[in-house]
A and B are shown apart, each in its own frame.
Chain A
Amino acid sequence: MNKKVFLIFVVICFVVIGILPILFMLAKSVNVDGHFSLFFYKNFMNSRREWTLIGNSFTLSFLTALFTTIIGLPLGILFAKTDLPLKKLFTILFTIPLLIPPYITAISWFDLLGREGLLSKIINPAMAEITSKWLFGLPGCVLILFSTFLPIVILLTITFLKTINPRLEEAGKLVSGWPGVLKGITIPLIMPGLLLASILVFLLTLGELGVPTFLRYDVFPVESFTQFSAFYNFGAATAAAVPLVIITLIVLVIERIFLRDKTYQLHPAVGGDKSSTINLGVYRKWFLIIVVLLCFCSIILPFLVLLFHSFSAGVYKEALSRAGDSLFRSVAYAAIGASALAVLGFFLGYLIHSKTFRFWRAIDSLTIFLFALSGTIIGIGLINLWNRPATNFIYASPVIIIFGYLAQYTALTSRITVSTLAQIPSSMEEAAQVSGAKWIRRITLITAPMAKRGLIAGWLVGYIFCLRDMGVTMLVYPPGHDTFPVRIFTLMANGSTELIAALCVIMIIATLLPLGIGGILFKLRGFIK
């Protein structure tokens, strides 16, 4: 098949699955009883509550982005450039909260700091009363989303540090110590990457539904979700969603204008992995103590509490009997979703990398836009588009969930593909071309096998994000097809705390197990040094 024809087909699939639902949603928000009307928007503009929600959303997103950047940058530098002991282990540990649904982290903190949490039993109930008040509200939301999104800043800092030519730092080292080099050379060089990480955290926090719902902090996605699920008011739900769409667009346009060319393709610098290590000297043990304390307090302790809480007779058995079916479904849907994401992301990544069409930048921006958009909005858009008799076979089946995954997470696999393809010389495909191979043959026998590391990594990342998804799934799942995160969220209303803790532990294992197996296989096959 012709390359351009095939890639156009892929683009059409992406537009139908990801973009069309959003456009439909926007169109429906200005349609009242079959006529154009700005009724919902007028209501929205005149409502003081909506403005409060915008303020809340902004405050939460800003504070989360600020704290993750302030803490994530030094941690990223510590893990990437210093002789800190166990830095690889710390990187993995700090990444765990990103891999599980954020509301599970919220539950674990609730089990620790809530009115009847562990703290009230160990210290005293009065203390727990204060911490509980603190947890339910802005500080609690910031704390949980901080630990959830901190890995984004850490990992991007590590990644961008690897793109720096070590000679640049060495030239600085001739005239300055490491603090001066970091301040004057290293950090300014990775600043675009750092800003990108902050923007991502800001947007992901802006779209987060689970944590604010659980901690009863009113933000915009919650309003959209409530209008839709509690009042079934599509118009109000979409009107409430539009400001988020606009904010996401504005932030991404700013990112595009100022950062895109600086952060677009990540090429590891020659010798980037051999850059000189910062010797922490006498400060080594102090840095280690700080990192251990931060890791223990923000990651290990809450999960230990969860584990501790779930240790009661028969609770895991009950958990599996009440949610085992949804766990099985979740794993299956995540595997299917990840496979579809790997394929769609690969071809879109190929299109972006090879700049096959003039609109390659638009495709790239749209995938990022959808990734940054709240899952609630994508969910509402999908329902708007597919909930009609002719397409009921999609709407009433798990296909709608897979569509949701594809709409939201294609950016992950397409970006991984772009980075992978950037490391494969174009001459590889050209050599296949002069050997007489048509495009499909070149892609399947040369490019894809050479990019298999990126494909597998993309699949794993896709699997994890599909498995942890709640924003889209919560809205679109057909009856009898709820996923594990959704089931836990539903059971939270009437299940015992022990049961919920056990379900959360199972969720964490289901997420980390394939990642661990994948990591071991990658290592055995020499993909990871």
Chain B
Amino acid sequence: MSIIEFKNVSKYYNETPVIQNFSMKIDAGEKIVILGQSGCGKTTVLRLLAGFISPDSGEIIIDNQIVAAEGKIIKEPEERNLGMVFQDLALWPHLSVKGNLEFGLKAKGVQKSKREKYIPEMLKLMQMEKSVHAKPAELSGGQQQRVALARALILHPEILIMDEPLSSLDQDLNVRLRKEILKLQKKIGFALLYVTHDREEAFDIGSRIIVMKDGKIERIGSSEKIKKYFG
């Protein structure tokens, strides 16, 4: 059963279409990758889903509820229960690792006793227990990625959105973190919507791949099928 649905969504910036008649569905626990070159509209899809921008036409549905439609945001991002890892990670520099993880829990009204339980658990899962009091600037690139991932997952979202999170890392670290993400996805079971311009990364992560070009879906299919398409 699909937990996310885009129905004929279009978005324009200064009358230039960024995405046009975009439709897709994501099922619970599914791993979808949006693959495309810069400027093809893939980040716009994520921002629409997160609720940072509204679609000019079409509908976005989460858990059978219309959350945005025809220029209006019906459900604000903070009410959508999504996890997101940004391209620049967006770790709050003035807060420690614990502070970064605790922020969302506090915002959702999670009791202190539970917060004290969840945070060490999540940090253990990410192998980051020792860095609990460190500030983001004191961490390596890989550690920062893990904290961003931990921050997104600690709220137990149904879907995790990742906007080219590994693009700034070297190849070795990129491959290692990809495996860790897949391991976590298998363990926790969240649906994953992953955006990248890297084909290898896309084939590695996605069970289904959406290829985008000029704001439209060019092709959609299983990882193997798309791999064949690209030859």
Interface, chain A (partner B; CB < 8 A):
425, 427-428, 430-438, 441, 445-446, 449-450, 452
Contacts and interface: CB of A to CB of B under 8 A. Distances in A.
A432 B103 contact: yes
B68 to A, nearest CB: 14
B142 interface: no
Given A427-B88, A433-B76, A450-B94, A441 B50 contact: no
A446 B83 CA distance: 18
Given A434-B77, A435-B155, A437-B78, A428 B104 contact: no
Closest 6 CB pairs of A and B: A435-B104, A427-B90, A437-B107, A431-B90, A433-B77, A436-B107
A449 B103 CA distance: 14
Given A428-B90, A435-B151, A452-B94, 14 more contacts: A425-B88, A427-B87, A427-B90, A428-B92, A431-B86, A431-B91, A434-B50, A434-B80, A435-B103, A435-B104, A438-B107, A446-B92, A446-B103, A450-B92
A409 B94 CA distance: 29
Contacts of A438: 78, 107
Contacts of B87: 427
A436 B78 contact: yes
A54 B120 CA distance: 72
A353 to B, nearest CB: 16
B82 interface: yes
A434 B108 contact: no
Most chain-A CB neighbours within 10 Å: which of B51, B81, B107, B155? B107
A123 B196 CA distance: 79
10 contacts: A430-B52, A430-B77, A430-B90, A431-B84, A434-B50, A436-B155, A438-B78, A449-B94, A450-B92, A450-B94
A180 to B, nearest CB: 37
B86 A427 contact: yes
B88 A441 contact: no
Contacts of A449: 94
Contacts of A434: 50, 77-78, 80, 82-84, 152
A38 to B, nearest CB: 45
A436 to B, nearest CB: 4
A435 B86 CA distance: 12
Contacts of A452: 94
Interface in B65-101: 76-84, 86-88, 90-94
Contacts of B84: 430-431, 434
A151 to B, nearest CB: 31
A387 B215 CA distance: 60
A267 to B, nearest CB: 16
Contacts of A430: 50, 52, 77, 84, 86, 90
A445 B102 CA distance: 12
B147 to A, nearest CB: 12
Most chain-B CB neighbours within 10 Å: which of A430, A435, A446? A435
Given A435-B103, A436-B107, A438-B107, A425 B90 contact: yes
A364 B111 CA distance: 42
Contacts of A425: 88, 90
Nearest to B84: A434
A452 B93 CA distance: 12
A378 to B, nearest CB: 37
Contacts of B77: 430, 433-434
Nearest to A435: B104
Nearest to A2: B76
B92 to A, nearest CB: 6
Size class of the B contact interface (CB-based, 8 Å):
20 to 34
Q: Is the interface of B mostly helix, strand, loop or mixed?
A: loop
A221 to B, nearest CB: 44
B204 to A, nearest CB: 25
Contacts of A433: 50-52, 76-78
Interface string B147-177: 0000110010000000000000000000000
A153 B101 CA distance: 45
Given A427-B86, A430-B50, A430-B86, A436 B108 contact: yes
Nearest to B157: A434
Contacts of A431: 84, 86, 90-92, 151
A203 to B, nearest CB: 33
B62 to A, nearest CB: 13
A434 B104 CA distance: 8
A450 B88 CA distance: 16
A430 to B, nearest CB: 6
Contacts of A435: 78, 103-104, 107, 151, 155
Contacts of A450: 92-94
B87 to A, nearest CB: 8
A437 B93 contact: no
Contacts of A441: 107
Contacts of B94: 449-450, 452
Contacts of B79: 436
Interface string B195-230: 000000000000000000000000000000000000
Nearest to A430: B52
Most chain-B CB neighbours within 10 Å: which of A427, A431, A434, A449? A434
Nearest to B79: A436
A438 B78 CA distance: 7
Contacts of A428: 90, 92
Most chain-B CB neighbours within 10 Å: which of A436, A437, A445? A436
Interface in B175-201: none
Contact of A437 (B50, B51, B104): B104
A529 to B, nearest CB: 16
A431 to B, nearest CB: 4
Nearest to B77: A433
Interface in B107-164: 107-108, 151-152, 155
B3 to A, nearest CB: 16
A517 B189 CA distance: 55
A434 B108 CA distance: 11
A375 to B, nearest CB: 37
A435 B103 CA distance: 7
A20 to B, nearest CB: 33
Contacts of A446: 92, 103
Contacts of B107: 432, 435-438, 441
A432 B84 CA distance: 10
Contacts of B91: 431
Contacts of B80: 434
A104 to B, nearest CB: 39
Contacts of B76: 433
A492 to B, nearest CB: 48
Nearest to A438: B78
A427 B151 CA distance: 14
A143 to B, nearest CB: 46
